[in-house]
Amino acid sequence: MNQYIHRILRFVNQHFRFLWFIGYVFILLLALSINSQISLTTSYNELKDASNEISNNLDRFFEDLFQEVYAIPVYGKKVNCNSELYPLLEHITLNNPNISGVIIRDKEQSIICSTLPMNDGKLSKTIKARTILGPFTLQLFDQPTYVVKQQIGNLYVDLIIVASVISKQMQTSFNVSSSVALFNSLENKNILRIEQNPDHHSWMTSPNPETMNTHNFRGIFAVDKLQSINDVSVVVFENSTTIKARFWRYQIILTVIFSIASLVLYYLCKMVLQKRYSLHGLMKIAVKNKEFFPVYQPLFNQELARFTGVEVLLRWRDEENNIIMPDVFISEAEITGLIIPITLQIIDLALKDSKPVLRNYPYFHIAFNLSALHFTDPYFFTHFYKLIEKYSISSSQILLEITERDLLDKNDSIFKDKMLELRQKGFSLAVDDYGTGHASISYLQHFPFNYLKIDKLFIQAIGTKAITESLNDAIIQMAKGLGLIIIAEGVETAEQVDFLTERRVGLLQGWFYSKALSIQELSILLQGEIE
């Protein structure tokens, strides 16, 4: 289980930026979606509160009007529009500014008494319910009028209310609303609608109530049924400008806050993962767990017709048992300085492995790769000498290869002094991968090399007629002129062997002779030569 978790964490670290971006986008979209739903819910709740507030105002308003109706003495007696009833109706209209007229009807909806001219009294439909009807146009008024109907015994009372009076009761302080309507479900239409002026500071009665209704409106609206009037509801429509502005403001704020928090969390997580699962972190763990190990590339001596040495090659077996090649991590090891402990660890293992081979075959040597960093490290060679002494290995059986690509500074005496010290102690030195860098003849003359390894790039060009093929002769002649022993690496074909044999290059290394071997495979190979 731990290995499975470790594998997942390593995968996360390797693709951290991409995975984080995908996660960031997904969570942000999810958060924005949730915030959008919250915003819509909040807007709807505010519209609902506004509709509830308006319906309560209208209910109180209509109940107050009905109190005037209940005071009319029409119960249990014959009603005539006489000197007693008419003055009472006039009194109601004069003392209640919200009532513009009163009409009394019998059960057949015939007018018994009215404060309006008879022509204006014929506006009410025969709906025997406590409701509000309209709008109606009366000559007596300069604005639409509405009829609020109420039954009293066998009679019906129509209260005439002008639009501005009802509109005033429909206004709300909630800025989420752009329009408020009274919807009559019996007539299936808005009977009155008010809307905000463009300055959003005042309300006006809409001349076209039906241009915005519950059927054609695409935004949010809330409905609240009146308790005082049958079949009439308050509909509050959203102010899309206000709601959208607030919506985007909240979305932007959320995005900014989320992005900042995500960025901080990203770097915190990245630091933790890099410390544990970055290449540098993994290499530190690998050194601690001794995951680096050597393999051995045999070197064939044409003159003796046998293998006379090996080059130690570095490999890394990680916690998942994957073999990682040096080209993946060697640059990071050099940059971070981990190349020093890794090299010492490999030298320790290789000397321990090869001690029996070196003891049994005195002509056999083992080669290690070094760089300029090993020469500038103040403790590397101290530990190196201790390892040679620990395993009692003869210095004459050790070859140290220094790559040409990592040129040593001729003006820094530390390099030449250390190399002279090594030669005096009996170690051999080789310039490795020759031809891939910019080493001149003076460079080879300045440092005490006694071997030169031709890079496989040139060896593999043999037979291709490429320019690099022709350079082989020049390199071979130059090395012989400087008295250097030549090693050809990367030999893979018989044609390459013939070419090098013809030019008396005696030390050959490559897959033509053997792949890189474990110490057990190397021992079997050498034992087979003897047999």
Q: What percent of the chain has pLDDT over 70?
A: 90
CATH code, domain with 495: 3.20.20.450
Does 282 reside within a domain? no
Compute the residue count for the chain.
Answer: 531
Q: Residue 25, CB half-sphere, CA atoms under 13 Å: how many?
A: 5
Q: Which residue type is seen at 56?
A: N
Quick check: 456 and 462 in contact, CB under 8 A?
no
- The mean per-residue pLDDT over the stretch 121-128 comes to 57
E strand residue ranges, 93-131: 101-105, 111-114
Q: Which of 261, 277, 300 is the last residue of a domain?
A: 261
pLDDT of residue 88: 85
Does 108 reside within a domain? yes
Q: What's the CA gap between 446 and 415, in Å, rounded?
A: 11
pLDDT, tens digit (0-9, with 9 covering 90-100), for 18-76: 888 888 888 888 888 888 888 888 888 888 988 899 999 999 998 888 887 777 776 66
Q: What's the CA gap between 63 and 65, in Å, rounded?
A: 5
Quick check: 277 and 10 in contact, CB under 8 A?
yes
Quick check: 374 and 385 in contact, CB under 8 A?
no
Q: What's the CA gap between 466 and 478, in Å, rounded?
A: 20
Dihedral of CA atoms 350, 354, 359, 360 in degrees, nearest 10, equals -160
Between the alpha carbon of residue 508 and those of residues 229, 310, 489, 519, 520, the distances in Å are 108, 11, 6, 20, 22
Does 1 reside within a domain? no
Same-domain pairing of 242 and 387: no
- Does residue 238 surpass a pLDDT of 90? no
Same-domain pairing of 428 and 304: yes
pLDDT, tens digit (0-9, with 9 covering 90-100), for 153-209: 778 888 999 998 998 988 887 777 778 889 988 888 888 888 887 666 778 887 777
Does 175 reside within a domain? yes
pLDDT, tens digit (0-9, with 9 covering 90-100), for 334-364: 888 999 999 999 999 999 999 999 999 999 9
Does 300 reside within a domain? yes
Of the candidates 304, 319, 283, the one whose C-alpha atom is nearest the C-alpha of residue 365 is 304
- The mean per-residue pLDDT over the stretch 458-471 comes to 84
Q: Which residues contact 38 (CB under 8 A, 6 or more apart)?
A: none
- Does residue 81 surpass a pLDDT of 90? no
Does 278 reside within a domain? no
Q: Which 3 state secondary structure label does DSSP give 492?
A: coil
Preceding amide of 341 cis, omega within 30: no
- Does residue 513 surpass a pLDDT of 50? yes
Does 65 reside within a domain? yes
Does 2 reside within a domain? no
Same-domain pairing of 310 and 199: no
Total domain count for the chain?
2
- The mean per-residue pLDDT over the stretch 365-381 comes to 94
Same-domain pairing of 119 and 173: yes
- Does residue 124 surpass a pLDDT of 60? no
Same-domain pairing of 488 and 433: yes
Same-domain pairing of 164 and 94: yes
- The mean per-residue pLDDT over the stretch 311-333 comes to 91
- Does residue 6 surpass a pLDDT of 70? no
b or e along 94-130 (b: 16 or more beta carbons within 10 Å of the residue's beta carbon)? eeeebbbbbbbbeeeeebbbbbbeeebbebbeebeeb
Q: What's the CA gap between 334 and 279, in Å, rounded?
A: 12
Pair of tokens at residue 172: 């709300």
CB atoms within 10 A of CB 45: 12
- Does residue 3 surpass a pLDDT of 70? no
Q: Which domain holds residue 175?
A: 13-261
- The mean per-residue pLDDT over the stretch 438-449 comes to 81
Same-domain pairing of 215 and 332: no
Same-domain pairing of 225 and 297: no
Confidence of residue 438 (pLDDT cuts 50, 70, 90): low
Same-domain pairing of 183 and 316: no
pLDDT of residue 1: 41
Quick check: 28 and 263 in contact, CB under 8 A?
no
Residue 134 burial by CB count (10 A; 0-12/13-18/19+): exposed, middle or buried? buried
Written in H, E and C, the secondary structure of 41-67 is HHHHHHHHHHHHHHHHHHHHHHHHHHH
